[in-house]
Amino acid sequence: MAEVKQVERPLSPHLQIYRPQMTSFSSIMTRITGNGIIVGVLLLVWWLLAAATSPAYFDFVNAIATSWFGDLVFTLSLLGVWYHYLAGIRHLIWDTGRYMDIKTAEMLGWVCIIGSVVLTALTLIIIHL
Amino acid sequence: MRYLTDRKRAVGKGASGTGTEHHWWMSASAVALAFMIPTWLYIVGTTLGADQQTVIATFASPFPAILTALIVIVGMQHFAKGTEVWIEDYVHGTAGKALKIAMHSLAYVIMATALYALGKMVFIGLLLGN
């Protein structure tokens, strides 16, 4: 009666038969940004370690961190942080049961995308003042 | 025959096997990070590109040091537990378990490295008399 049966189930997001839409796109982007940020974290922690190690090692890592490659990694990470930030707040709001209707949910997807670009630009402007 | 009923086995578990514990922890750490991230981005953003002495002086001072430690401790656990979600979706069985262990290990290595660097910069700061 109460036996556990192992059933072959399909993988969760049925990407092959799933039409791309704002809700699914903004959801997958939350995952991609959340995981992608780790590249920026690695470079930043490496830079912190170098600062604590020696002048020669700091010069070496700092040159990478402040090169075009470092700028690219940190700017994309910043964009990823802000997207993940807004998408996370969206989930906290959804968890209260609010704004779950499709129209509002799609609108919140646009808020995450446009908002992350705006906040990234604002951050870059403020830190360069 | 088992004497546990279906309901007894199911209550509080769900697809994850651990009930709502994971989701609740992610929500709580997300709120903590949301409060800390903007200020931390400002500190890091304004220190990146500075010379080594300025970097050490910045991260040796109390507020940036404590905030960075908090970001790394809470953030890396949030990352490690967050990766579990997509691993559970796409990678199954032993490979999935191995990948989860690898992601948790990576998170803890980053956490320990950052805390070591912070500690050493605080120490250097003390020697330099900041």
What tens digit of pLDDT does each residue of B23-79 get?
Answer: 999 999 999 999 999 999 999 999 999 999 999 999 999 999 999 999 999 999 999
Q: Is residue B104 domain-resident? A: yes
Q: Is residue B1 domain-resident? A: no
Return the closest-CA partner of residue A34 out of B29, B122, B60.
B29
Q: How far apart are the first and last CA of chain B?
A: 70
pTM for this entry: 0.89
Handedness of CA A91, A97, A99, A100 (dihedral sign): positive
ipTM: 0.89
Q: Is residue B71 domain-resident? A: yes
Interchain CB contact of B113 with A (< 8 Å): yes
**Structural domain range at position B67:** 17-127
What tens digit of pLDDT does each residue of A4-54 get?
Answer: 667 776 666 666 777 789 998 999 999 999 999 999 999 999 999 999 999
Q: What CATH number is given to the structural domain containing B47?
A: 1.20.1300
Q: Is residue B4 domain-resident? A: no
Q: Is residue B85 domain-resident? A: yes
Best residue in B3, B8, B48 for a mutation probing chain A (most A CBs within 10 Å):
B48
How many independent structural domains does chain B possess? 1
Other CB atoms closer than 10 Å to residue A97's CB: what's the count?
7
User: Which residue segments constitute the domains of chain A, with CATH numbers given?
Assistant: 22-127 (1.20.1300.10)
Interchain CB contact of B59 with A (< 8 Å): yes
d(C-alpha B12, C-alpha B19), whole Å: 5
* Average confidence score pLDDT of chain A: 92
What tens digit of pLDDT does each residue of B94-107 get?
Answer: 999 999 999 999 99
Q: Is residue B7 domain-resident? A: no
Return the closest-CA partner of residue A80 out of A36, A28, A27.
A36
